[in-house]
Each structure stands twice: as structure tokens, then as C-alpha cells.
A and B are shown apart, each in its own frame.
Chain A
Amino acid sequence: MSDYRKPLPQIQPFSEAFWEGTRNNKLLVQTCSDCDARIFFPRRQCPECWSTNLGWTEASGKAEIYAFSVTYEGVEAVFREDLPIVLAWVDLPEGIRMQTNIIECDPDAIEIGQQVEVVFRKVTDEITLPYFRPVQ
């Protein structure tokens, strides 16, 4: 039994492959085989052309910080042990922007435009969450 108490992603049938990817330390980007859209977050059908002919491409794991915010308070009790939490929106060269946390960092030294790389944290047998950390 995991002692992880924080909210876990509610996996949907069409996002199973994404979470299977993170379990294997791979960051997958959903792609549309008909219109070539890069899709985040994963959907049942392509939001551009409604195709269900969707696939996955493995991301390099590199990203750039588009925006960030360091949270010091106002979180639910289960998150308090993690404060301060660095929230970030990161741009992947594969063409998507995703919500994540920047970890293994000095929160005061984070900047917009900073280069970061994916790091996987296994939190339960089923869920491995993708985080990012500054490129050394």
C-alpha cells in the first residue's frame, strides 16, 4: 500500500498510454495521425479535426519555462509538507505546453525562459508523475 495522500490523476481510457509511458520513464505527447496536431492534454478525439486516429510520440524531455509561480500557502493540508511549491507551465519542443512543478531547485532562482528537463517520480504502483528540474 502506498502512503501517498495527495490527489492522484484520474486516468481516463484515452490517457492510459500517457501514464503507462511515465511508469516507464517516458514522456509521451499525443499526436493526431490525420492532421498532425500535437495534443495536450490527451483527448478521446483530436480537438482540431475530431479524428480518433491518434498516436503518441516520445518527447525529448527538454522544456522551457513559460510561466511559474511559487506557492507559499493556501494549499490543502496534504500539500503543506511540499511548500514552497513551484508551479510552472513548460513549453516542450514537441509543440505542447503543460502544467507541472519544478523540483530539485532553489525557488528563488527560477526564471521565465529557463531550460528544464523532465524527472519522473513514482508515487504509487500505478502513477508516476512527470516533474521538471533545471538543467545543470
Chain B
Amino acid sequence: MSLAIIGIAELPTKRDPERTRWDMLSDVCMDAIRDAGIDKDDVEAVISVNPMAQAQMALDMALGRVPEVLGLKGCKDICVLNSGGTSTTNCLRLAKYFIDNKQARFVLIPHTTVQSDIPTEDLINFFATAPLDPQWEYPYGVTFNGAMGLITNRYMHDTGATAEQMASVTVSLRGWGALDPNSIFYGKPVTLEDVLESRMISTPLHAKECNFLADGAGAMIVTSHEIAQELGRPAAYELGHGVRFTGATPVLREDPYFIKAYRESSQDALAEAGLSIDDMDLRQIYGAYPFTQCSALEGYGVCEFGEAAAIWAEGRCGPGGDLPCTSMGDATGRGHTGSGVSMAFYLDTVRQLRGEAGERQVADCNHALITTSGGSVMNACTTIFGSAPR
């Protein structure tokens, strides 16, 4: 039972409607195959990340156009998977099944999203209706930002975290993004004042603490541990995986900050890997809103409940800190590419483990924990990756 990521490619996050979905998809698929050092006809399955709010592209992927366009003559089957922000995680899980069962030696997992050609009103409507209940939430003017504002407000009430401490999370995330050529905020760090003085969207969330919708594309090639070692190329080896569901509707959840989901999914993943949370050199947290960067650390057991915001405020989780977290920048620090955020999280984790993260490189990064989430954090999917097989 093993999975290794041996090829990656990504296009910089931007808002550029001149880049078409298919151009971007073709570029990253070809680059990922080249990066893996394999031939295009070695790809035996294509498992695509469902592109959200882009019905035609989702259908094209579901009905088999990707291997046809790329001329993948060895492709045995295709699939498109959708669980919002955890779609990429599902792709990895199905790829593992194909690989473990010798159905495929190499699987291509692509993603493409263009949101800059979708009218703003349509995007607001999509993100207000997709994860929210049409009968009990939507008539009250709930938006994604509003739902997360509700939780953040209560989180600050329960933990005593201050507005400055919460804003410091965004400062650190943007700090990572400012060093990352794939971030829409490359070269654009922000200060505490920039965050706190940006427009109030849904209290306590300022504009810079909310998501900026953008376009992006990424792809990866996965194979087995054994084949990755035979190829002798730098790879990210999956060592353990754990998941927990929290619930679809924010107001109904008994665990509003997902502490239990973060704790139990990480414990399962770490147990499978035979490692402890203290063995992790990097923690990558996809929650899309800053409070999740805090509650995840509390769930993992890195610190006690109520301590994480102060840790972020000390700069320990940002670039150069002793507890590096989310070097990918999360959606807040990189731009929100729909279901592509989780793709970018895995790609950045591979870069860190291969020592290819440039100015953001975490020193001696050999073990990384990554948690992805779908919907409004309906689930927590935690995976441990290493720079070598166990």
C-alpha cells in the first residue's frame, strides 16, 4: 500500500481570462509528465479534480477529453472527482487504489480553473448557495465570508484571541505568498496595519482575511513507492492518511472549530506513518480562513486550545519561524482557485520535501503533514508525506 508523487507542475495564480482552461490544463499536464521523467504513453489513468462553477469543463473531464487531447495512448480509464476543496485528496485516494491493484503504474491528476471570466455576481451566488442550505441559511443573506465570520467571532470569544493576533495569521500567510512565484501575492507582503485597516467584510473578517478568487492550474504524476525508488528521482512518499467528517451545515456542528476532526485525522495519519506530531518539519493547513490555521494546531496537539493565535502572532509559523506552517500560503496568501487550492497544497508539499521551495524552503524538510478540507470544512483529510519511504 503505497503512493508517491514523482512529477509536478503548476501555473502561477492570476486573474487572466486570456489563459483558457484547456491551454492551462495542457501546459501543466505536459510539464508534470516531463517532470516525472516518463513518457506520455506511460500514463495509465487520468483522475481529474472537478473544476467548480465551470460546468462545461467538468463535463469535458468527466467524459474523457483529457487523455484524448493529450494523446495518452496508454490510458486505461478516466474519472473526475468532486468533494469541493478535498477533490484532489479524493483523486489521490483513487489513484492509490489503481496503483495498489496494479491497474496503473502511473496516474495523472490534473486541475484547471478560470474564475476571471465568470461575472462577480455569479461567483457570489455560487459560493453563497453551493455550501449553504437553501431553506435555513440562504434567505438570511449568509455568504461564505459571513459563515466563517460567525465561527471566527465565536472562536475569538472562546479563546481570547485578539484582532491583532488573528490578523498576524494573514501577515504570515502573505509572508509566504510574497516569496512564492506561484502566489498571486508574489512580492506583495502585508503588515498588521494593512490587514486591520482593510475594509470590514463580515466581522471580524477584514478584506485581506477573506479569499481573492483567481485562476490556476496544476498537475501531478503519482506512482508506487517501489517504482519511485526504481526511477531514482526525488519524490514525496505518502506515509499515512486519516479523515474525519464534521457536517455540511456550519450552524449544526457540535465541533465548530473542527478541533476533534483535526485531532483524530492527524492521529490516524501519524499512527499509520509511525511518527508523532513532533516529527513534522512542516504543517500545511488548508482551511481557507485564518482561524483554521489556529484551531488546526490546537487539534493536532501542537499547543493547547486557545494558545495558537499567540504562536502565530510571534511569527513562529511564518517564513523563518521555528514552527513553519502553511508555506503554501493558503487561499488567503495565494489566491483562491476553487478546487485548485488543495492541488496547490500538495504541489507545494512536494516542493518542500524535494528541497525545491526556493526562498520559502523549510530547512531539512523530511516530514510534512497536510490537511485539506471541503465545503465549509465539512471534513478534514490529513496526510503525512516523507522525502523517503518508510
> Do A and B bind?
yes
> Which positions in A face B, CB cutoff 8 Å?
6-12, 15, 40-41, 66-77, 79, 82, 85, 87-89, 97-101, 112, 129
Q: How far is the CA of A15 from the CA of B149 in the complex (A)?
A: 28
* Cα of A97 to Cα of B249 in the assembled complex, Å: 12
8 Å CB contacts to A: which residues of B135-174? Answer: 135-143, 145-147, 149-154, 157
Verify A71–B202 contact, CB threshold 8 A. Answer: yes
The answer to whether A69 touches B136 (Cβ under 8 A) is no
How many Å from the CB of A73 to the closest CB on chain B?
6
Chain A CB within 8 A of B203 CB = yes
Q: Given the complex, which residues of B lie within 8 Å of A89, measured CB to CB?
A: 150, 154, 251
Q: Is B71 an interface residue (CB 8 A)?
A: no
User: Chain B contacts of A112 at CB under 8 A?
Assistant: 153-154, 157
Identity of the chain B residue whose Cβ is nearest the Cβ of A47 in the assembled complex:
B252
Give a binary string over B177-221; 1 marks a CB under 8 Å from any A CB, 0 the rest.
000000000000000000000011111110000100000000000
A85 to B128, CA, bound (A): 15
Ranked nearest first, the 8 interchain pairs of A and B with the lowest CB-CB distance are A69-B149, A67-B154, A9-B135, A71-B202, A79-B141, A41-B136, A70-B203, A69-B150
**CB contacts between A and B, total, < 8 Å:** 112
Say whether, besides A99-B136, A99-B137, A71 and B252 are in contact (CB < 8 Å): no
Q: Does B103 contact A (CB under 8 A)?
A: no
Beta-carbon contact of B252 and A40 below 8 Å: yes
- In the bound assembly, the distance between CA atoms of A101 and B157 in angstroms comes to 19
A10, A40, A76: which contacts B121 (Cβ < 8 A)? A76
**Chain A's nearest CB lies how many Å from the CB of B207?**
8
9 residue pairs A–B, Cβ–Cβ below 8 Å: A6-B139, A9-B134, A72-B201, A74-B143, A76-B124, A87-B142, A99-B140, A99-B142, A101-B140
Q: Is B133 an interface residue (CB 8 A)?
A: yes
Do most interface residues of chain A lie in helix, strand or loop, or is the interface mixed?
mixed
CA distance A85 to B139 in the complex (A): 12
Q: Across the interface, do A71 and B201 meet the contact criterion of CB distance under 8 Å?
A: yes
Question: Does B125 belong to the interface (CB within 8 Å)?
Answer: yes
Chain A hits for B150, CB < 8 A: 67-69, 87-89
Tell me whether A70 and B202 are in contact in the complex, defined as CB-CB below 8 angstroms, given that A85-B141, A87-B142, A97-B252 are known contacts: yes
Chain B residues near A10 (CB-CB < 8 A): 134-135
Give chain B nearest CB distance to A102 CB in angstroms.
10
Interface pair A41/B202, CB less than 8 Å apart: no
Give CA–CA (A129, B135) in the complex, Å: 11
Mask of B320-354 contacts with A, CB within 8 angstroms, 1/0: 00000000000000000000000000000000000
Given A76-B128, A79-B141, A99-B251, A69 and B134 contact (CB-CB distance below 8 Å): no
When each residue 232-264 of chain B gets 1 if its CB lies under 8 Å from chain A and 0 otherwise, what string results? 000000000000000001011000100000000
Q: Which residue of A lies closest to B205 (CB)?
A: A69
CA A117 to CA B128, docked complex, whole Å:
27
Q: Given A67-B154, A68-B150, A99-B142, does the pair A74, B134 have CB atoms closer than 8 Å?
A: no
Most buried by A among B137, B152, B203: B203
Task: Say which residue of A9, A67, A75, A87 sits within 8 Å of B136 (CB atoms).
Answer: A9
- What A residues does B140 contact at CB under 8 A? 85, 87, 99-101, 129
Q: Which of B152, B210, B251 contacts A74 (CB 8 A)?
A: B210
**Given contacts A71-B203, A79-B141, A87-B146, could you give 5 more A-B pairs where the C-beta distance is less than 8 Å?**
A67-B157, A74-B143, A76-B121, A87-B202, A97-B251
Asked if B154 and A66 sit within 8 Å, CB to CB, the answer is yes
Q: Which residue of A lies closest to B128 (CB)?
A: A76
Q: How far is the CA of A88 from the CA of B142 in the complex (A)?
A: 10
Chain A residues contacting B125 (CB-CB under 8 Å) are: 76
Tell me the smallest distance from the CB of B331 to a CB of chain A, in Å: 15
Please, which residue of chain B has its CB at the minimum distance from the CB of A131?
A: B140
Instruction: State how many angstroms separate the Cβ of B132 from the closest Cβ of chain A.
Output: 9
Cα(A67)–Cα(B205), bound, Å: 14
B153 and A73 contacting across the interface, CB-CB below 8 Å:
no
Name the residue on A nearest B125 (C-beta). Answer: A76
A71 CB to closest chain B CB (Å) equals 4
Give chain A residues whose Cβ lies under 8 Å from the Cβ of B205: 69
Instruction: Please provide the chain B residues from 353 to 387 with a CB less than 8 Å away from any CB of chain A in the complex.
Output: none
Contacts of B252 in A (CB 8 A): 40-41, 97
Query: Closest CB-CB distance, A93 to chain B, in whole Å?
Result: 17
